[in-house]
Structure 1
Amino acid sequence: MSDYLDVLWATWPAAKETRVGVWTIRAGRGGGKRVSAATATAPATATDLAQAEQAMRALDQEPLFMIRAQDATLDALLQDNGYKIIDPVTVYAAPLSELTTQRPPAIAAFTLWEPLEIMKEIWAGEGIGPSRLAVMARVTGPKASILGRIQNRAAGAAFTAIHENTAMVHAMVVENAYRRQGTAINMMREAAFWAQDQGATELAVVVTDDNADARALYASLNMQPVGHYHYRKKQC
């Protein structure tokens, strides 16, 4: 799992990471939980927790923690201090060979950088605005945006980037009117072919556990669960 989290942070990076005591503190600048959550680098005590809370509030961020498989003790500490579980997440991955068995139909999907304005409009419709576009811009390795098309019009947008031998897909959006028509499948396959051309060997994606449609999509592409994490945050 740690390898996939390395891919996650390399392909969807925080604006800044700082070591504070036993913590990695991330400045997200509106880029979402992935780039805002603190993680522990060693066992944490109640005193350490207060230090993390102070560091995140200094960034004008509500305290938020990512809990990985190795963080059971921290999970209990946070629960005892009023932090609730939010957004359990599963990481799916597959060798590229599972997704490159057939190319998408002609003009059904394209990779390009930088994103087109129509792609930004599609993302904006799902709340993926300038702060998340800034995350994409921060990626320094191979990266691409993916345009999905159907019925002669733009219907979806996604982002992918590579760390070591793994490409990870982020910000996958298909407009409501064009869902369940194969657009997302075409986009994932296009991402796989692009990643193959860049020398990668596998494709990964993260999805919240309550997104049944996305989980079914990735399973249909023979992508397998390879890890889990969740967040904890105090509920107002």
Structure 2
Amino acid sequence: MTPDLLSEVMEATWPPAAAWPAGPFLLRDGAGGGKRVSAATVEDDWTAADLDAAIAGMADPLFCLREGDQALDAALEARGWRVVDPVVAYAAPVVAMTGDLPFLTAFPHWPPLATACEVWDEGGIGPARRAVMERVAGQKTVILGRMADRPAGAAFVACHGEEAMLHALEVRPAARRQGTGGHILRAAANWAAEQGATRLSLVVTERNTAARALYERAGMVLAGQYHYRAP
């Protein structure tokens, strides 16, 4: 998955509230939806003056540094900006992840059921982040995972062309390491296949080793990386 395609799919399936150019930079307002929709990116050749102007244009300066952004990364490091939340992307062919599921262990629906919102609220995925989901213009769904006839997890999935991306996967602590996460991933792949998507991807912080182990067990492989820098 190329860095440009990863960025394109993320922007379509987890969009900011607003985005506007500042010279060669693209600034974003996430309206509380998290770093991913609030960080600036560089889109063209830039100068130190361009960088100064971009920083001045942000209330809370934050840059997303992708593969190929080494010059900007070095410039921000030289200014004393710290690395925040290194992120890795995982992806797999949809066909490799689809399959049958035990009855009512995970199912797609839209708009989000109240039980899915409760799961997200418990995990810190509140109204501002769910507003990001509402902004997605393309095909989208929520996957609700269940265990012992009770809500156990939730995730959001959206499509951009033949690409599907999963966001906001949250599993209740009591249901972790018991198959709920895997069921949600499979249900997401089944739904993506029905929409005509050929690849399912997601992003996760580098330090989240438990989630990364889940994705690797499901057959997903590393497909990209990025990190943030803040003053």
1:56 corresponds to which letter in structure 2?
Answer: M
The residue aligned with 2:67 is 69
1:180-191 correspondence to structure 2 within 5 Å: 180-191=177-188
Aligned residue pair count: 229
1:36 matched to 2:38: yes
1:177 corresponds to which letter in structure 2?
Answer: A
Unpaired segments ≥5 residues, structure 1 = none
Q: Distance in 2 between matches of 1:160 and 1:127?
A: 18
Report the secondary structure of 1:160's partner residue: strand
> Could you report, residue by residue, the CA deviation over 1:75-116 in whole angstroms, capped at 9, with x for unpaired residues?
00000111111111111000011101x222110001000001
The residue aligned with 2:209 is 212
The residue aligned with 2:156 is 159
Q: Distance in 2 between matches of 1:46 and 1:202?
A: 38
**In the TM superposition, what is the alpha-carbon distance from 1:177 to its structure 2 partner?**
0.8
1:52 to 35, 51, 54: 54
Report the secondary structure of 1:159's partner residue: strand
The residue aligned with 1:16 is 18
Unpaired segments ≥5 residues, structure 2 = none
Report the secondary structure of 2:58's partner residue: helix
1:195 to 192, 197, 213: 192
Q: TM-score, normalised by structure 1?
A: 0.95
Q: Distance in 2 between matches of 1:45 and 1:180?
A: 49
Moved over 4 A (4+): none
Verify the 8 A CA contact 1:43 1:74 in the aligned structure 2. Answer: no
Q: Distance in 2 between matches of 1:223 and 1:71?
A: 25
Instruction: Give the percent of matched residue pairs that are identical in Structure 1 and Structure 2.
Output: 48
1:228 matched to 2:230: no
1:80-229 correspondence to structure 2 within 5 Å: 80-100=78-98, 102-229=99-226
**In the TM superposition, what is the alpha-carbon distance from 1:185 to its structure 2 partner?**
0.3
1:26 to 4, 25, 28: 28
**In the TM superposition, what is the alpha-carbon distance from 1:2 to its structure 2 partner?**
1.3
